[in-house]
Chain A
Amino acid sequence: LAKTTQPISMDSYEGQEVNITCSHNNIATNDYITWYQQFPSQGPRFIIQGYKTKVTNEVASLFIPADRKSSTLSLPRVSLSDTAVYYCLVGEGDKIIFGKGTRLHILP
């Protein structure tokens, strides 16, 4: 299973675009990259998943360079309610292992 590295915490302001980068140097050929959001005392919520290049949905965009050794989650125009922990997961196997995640704090 590929190990992931993310910043432990980030601060931003309402209305800004936030980019959280995740490193996964040992990503395997079959691995997908998935991002989850977790609020306190709740289960994680799926945000976006991708394999290469760019994926966009109604919530976020995911940018993956050609070597796939990193990925960037982009949250457009964040609001206070986006304050949460964001996890980057890599793999396609039977286990889902969480790293430490990035604690994002949105300021007014």
Chain B
Amino acid sequence: GAVVSQHPSWVICKSGTSVKIECRSLDFQATTMFWYRQFPKQSLMLMATSNEGSKATYEQGVEKDKFLINHASLTLSTLTVTSAHPEDSSFYICSAEGKVEGRNTEAFFGQGTRLTVV
């Protein structure tokens, strides 16, 4: 199946700093990318949806100025957690969809990024 690569797999940062997470679709063009956050023993929570070349659409309660999403090309989206705090520590996962004959493909997920803010 298609491959979505997420980098880094884990990161530890100091409180107040910013962290960038990359999500790349390696063998298909991702028309739509999604960013999720997952806390231990819980389901994935959708943070935002982004389409290439346009601004991301954020879910209710997700601060767009804190979680900056850039989807500059059909193969790359980035999530930047600005001024990170310990409560931002979580597992962040991206996914990507393509289009085949006008219909969305199934979503392919990255391996996730474990963010720990100390």
Q: Tell me the A residues contacting B by CB distance below 8 Å.
A: 34, 36, 41-46, 49, 87, 92, 94-101
CB-based nearest A residue for B6? A43
Among the stretches B13-21, B64-72, B73-81, B107-115, the one at the interface with A is B107-115
CB-based nearest B residue for A48? B106
Residues B84-118 near A (CB distance < 8 A): 91, 93-95, 97, 103-104, 106-112, 114
Is there contact, CB below 8 Å, between B44 and A95? no
Q: Report Cα–Cα, A99/B46, bound state, in Å.
A: 11
Contacts of A98 in B (CB 8 A): 36, 43-46
Known contacts A43-B111, A97-B46; 6 additional CB pairs below 8 A are A44-B95, A46-B106, A46-B108, A94-B104, A96-B34, A96-B107
Contact A46:B1 (CB < 8 A) given known A94-B32, A94-B49: yes
Contacts of A43 in B (CB 8 A): 4, 6, 93-95, 109-112
Is there contact, CB below 8 Å, between B111 and A42? yes
Q: What is the interface size of chain B, counting residues whose CB is below 8 A from a CB of the partner?
A: 26
Is there contact, CB below 8 Å, between A95 and B43? no
Contacts of A101 in B (CB 8 A): 43
Is there contact, CB below 8 Å, between B44 and A44? yes
Which of the listed residues B43, B93, B108, B114 has the most CB atoms from chain A within 10 Å of its own CB?
B43
Q: Report Cα–Cα, A96/B45, bound state, in Å.
A: 10
CB-based nearest B residue for A100? B43
Q: Report Cα–Cα, A44/B1, bound state, in Å.
A: 13
Q: Which of B43, B95, B114 contacts A87 (CB 8 A)?
A: B43
Contact A95:B112 (CB < 8 A) given known A43-B6, A46-B1, A46-B107: no
Contact A99:B95 (CB < 8 A) given known A43-B110, A43-B111, A44-B109: no
